[in-house]
Amino acid sequence: MKIVVIGGTGLIGSKLVDRLRADGHEALPASPGTGVDSVTGKGLDDALKGASVVVDVSNSPSFEDGAVLEFFRTSTGNLLTAGAAAGVGHHVALSVVGSERLPDSGYLRAKAVQEELIRKSGIPYSIVRATQFFEFAKGIAAGATRGGTVRLPSSLLRPLASDDVVEAVGRVAVAAPLNAVTEVAGPEELRLDEFVRTGLAAEKDPREVVTDESVGYFGAHVRGRELLPGPGAHLAGTRFTEWLDRRK
Model confidence pLDDT, tens digit, residues 85-141: 999 999 999 999 999 888 889 999 999 999 999 999 999 999 999 999 999 999 999
Looking at residue 59, its pLDDT comes to: 95
Residue (of 126, 34, 121) closest to 79 by Cα position: 121
State the residue range of the domain holding 113.
2-246
Distance CA 203, CA 115 (A): 35
Distance CA 48, CA 6 (A): 10
Counted domains in the chain: 1
pLDDT exceeding 90 applies to what percent of the chain?
90
DSSP structural state of residue 37: -
Phi, psi of 200 (to 5 degrees): -70, -40
Q: Is-above-0.85 flag for pTM?
A: yes
User: What confidence tens digit (pLDDT) does each residue in 148-206 have?
Assistant: 999 999 999 999 999 999 999 999 999 999 999 999 999 999 999 999 999 999 999 99
pLDDT at 248 over 80: no
Alpha-helix residue ranges (DSSP H) falling in 27-181: 44-48, 65-86, 106-120, 137-143, 162-173
Distance CA 4, CA 26 (A): 8
Looking at residue 233, its pLDDT comes to: 96
Identify the band that residue 12 occupies on the pLDDT scale cut at 50, 70 and 90. Answer: very high
Q: Domain containing 15 — which CATH number?
A: 3.40.50.720
CB proximity list for 95: less than 8 A, separation 6 or greater = 111, 114, 115, 127, 128, 129, 130, 181
User: What confidence tens digit (pLDDT) does each residue in 58-76 have?
Assistant: 999 988 999 999 999 999 9
